Copies of this chain bind each other. A is one copy, B any other.
């Protein structure tokens, strides 16, 4: 778990301690990345893949396979994943790329009250029976839990001018 940096503010409570509903892990993401050697986001992951190569896949947990039967290779999906090594109490943070402390909801930091990360990726292979989806890239550590997959839809997901 990361240390707090200067200028950072913590919540007076831990958001993990509450009586809210439980997240179900529907599968795991497999990537080449380990702690200390991971890109900062999916765009950084794509740059590294262009240089170094690398395979990325989502393996569903038992029972969830029928849920992917209507996805297609070439489709863009949104992956929601649970950053299980993140802190949940840093409400103001100083990322390395920022010159001042920033409110967590203006950042894409994995450290957030609900450590759900999301990226839009392309499906490059699909084995419905095995419950395995190959994707073009992702930034998380190998073994990160997945919580949802959604089709990307412009009228819901793109900014409306």
Contacts and interface: CB of A to CB of B under 8 A. Distances in A.
Contact of A80 (B25, B108, B116, B156): B116
Q: How large is the interface on A (under 10, 10 to 19, 20 to 34, 35 or more residues)?
A: 35 or more
B68 A105 contact: yes
A148 B113 contact: yes
B113 A159 contact: no
Contact of A43 (B103, B107, B155): B155
A142 interface: no
Contacts of A151: 105-108
Interface string A61-76: 0011011111100001
Across the A-B interface, give the 6 residue pairs with the lowest CB-CB distance, nearest first.
A15-B24, A76-B159, A70-B106, A43-B155, A105-B149, A69-B103
